[in-house]
Amino acid sequence: MNNNSVTEFILFGLTQDVGKQKAVFGIFLILYLMTLLANFLIVVTIKTSRTLGSPMYFFLFYLSFADACFSTTTAPRLIVDAISQKKTISYNECMTQVFATHFFGSMEIFVLILMSFDRYVAICKPLQYTTIMSQRVCHALVNVAWVGACLHTSAQLFLALRLPFCGPNIIDHFYCDMQPLLKLACMDTYKINLLIVFNSGAICLVSFVILLISYIFILRALSNQSAEGRRKALSTCTSHIIVVVSFFVPCIFTYTRPATTFPADKIVALFYTVGTPLLNPLIYTLRNSEVKNAMRKLWCRKT
Q: How do residues 188-236 score in pLDDT, each as one tens digit?
A: 888 888 888 888 888 899 999 998 888 888 888 877 777 776 777 777 7
CATH architecture of 8-302: Up-down Bundle (1.20)
Confidence (pLDDT) at 100: 95
Query: Rounded to an integer, what distance in angstroms lies between the CA atom of residue 7 and that of residue 5?
Result: 6
Higher pLDDT, 4 or 44: 44
* Region 262-267 average pLDDT: 79
Confidence (pLDDT) at 2: 55
Q: Are 22 and 8 in contact (CB under 8 A)?
A: no
Task: State whether residue 276 is helix, strand or coil.
Answer: helix
Task: Name residue 88's beta-bridge partners.
Answer: 10
Task: Give this prediction's pTM.
Answer: 0.90
- Per-residue HEC secondary structure of 58-92 comes to HHHHHHHHHHHHHHHCCHHHHHHHCCCCCCEEEHH
Helix (H) or strand (E) holding 170: strand 170-171
pLDDT in tens, 163-194: 999 878 899 889 998 888 988 988 888 888 88
Domain ranges of the chain: 8-302
Confidence (pLDDT) at 157: 92
Question: In this structure, which amino acid lies at residue 23?
Answer: A
Closest by CA position to 101, among listed 259, 254, 280, 292: 254
pLDDT in tens, 94-129: 999 999 999 999 999 999 999 889 988 988 888 899
As a whole number of Å, the CA-based R_g of the chain is: 21
Query: Rounded to an integer, what distance in angstroms lies between the CA atom of residue 97 and that of residue 8?
Result: 13
Long-range contacts of 47-51 (CB under 8 A, 24+ apart): 48/298, 49/294, 49/297, 49/298, 51/290, 51/293, 51/294
CA-to-CA separations, 264 to 82, 167, 271, in angstroms, rounded: 19, 25, 11
